[in-house]
Structure 1
């Protein structure tokens, strides 16, 4: 795994795109602070940049770098969630501006996955994690289902066999600073 982390880190530090397994589905990733790399993700997915992308961070400490004020309830949701849960937070900061939604929000998940944890921790920044498909197409449930267009469109494909399957997108919850909680995707 260390070899794959090091190769992925090098690609991310150089502003390149990676294809990698997450705690949910295979993702297209880049350094979330690099606007040019984020633009490449939108281009590969053929997606409008007004549609926000999810980011992964290693832990609560790193989460606090990207949100002006993390609501207390967010940490409770993260702790009690039994499945991968992405939270949309108000007042994003310190990420590429083309990652921030028009309303100032950002979607972030702390994955329960050693590879993703190590990658984010060693890069010391958030990593974009968007499903490995062209917008409008089905989310691939396995590596075999990822289109050649996506595979050829990234700079590095992580070669890692997964013990647990990663075939279902995360739940998404929108958590506003005013205390309103809205389930976007179960």
Structure 2
């Protein structure tokens, strides 16, 4: 590997370290308490170094959000080859839970963080998230065409399902399941998702 390639790799590794550290601090400390200085201190670089990569912490949060929503959308896209809409919906719910459990810090920033970024890129930055939601909405629409959710509004059904699953994983991510033994918590999420799906299948006319 030549000097140019090595320097490029080092830059990419440092950028990844900055993003990983920022993700963790945003999730644990909150947006307002996370600063460029606190990130720099943790990775043992000067704040000036971070500014070579990102103009401010909004730019950091924006890039993290794009990466997170891109992974999230890929999980959703993985169910599109399933033939039956109701089976597609079941798998989508499972993929949602899987993503949240495997990427709790990302999920926290995407759907729980109470202090959204103020970057001028914010509006366009949610395009990926909106397209992921559209996948859910399209599946619900297909379920309606297949006889489920009779006389129900597709957006209301999609929002209801999203709220249910979001509530479950948020309780897990924010450690609000302490009344249940730790070894049972993931099983509870899985079984609760299956219960919801059983209820949904009852809506077919």
Q: Fold match, TM over 0.5?
A: no
Larger relative helix fraction: 2
**Larger RCO: 1 or 2 (CA < 8 Å, sep 6+):** 1
Q: Which has the larger radius of gyration?
A: 2
TM bucket by the smaller chain? under 0.3
Query: TM-score, length-normalised on structure 2?
Result: 0.22
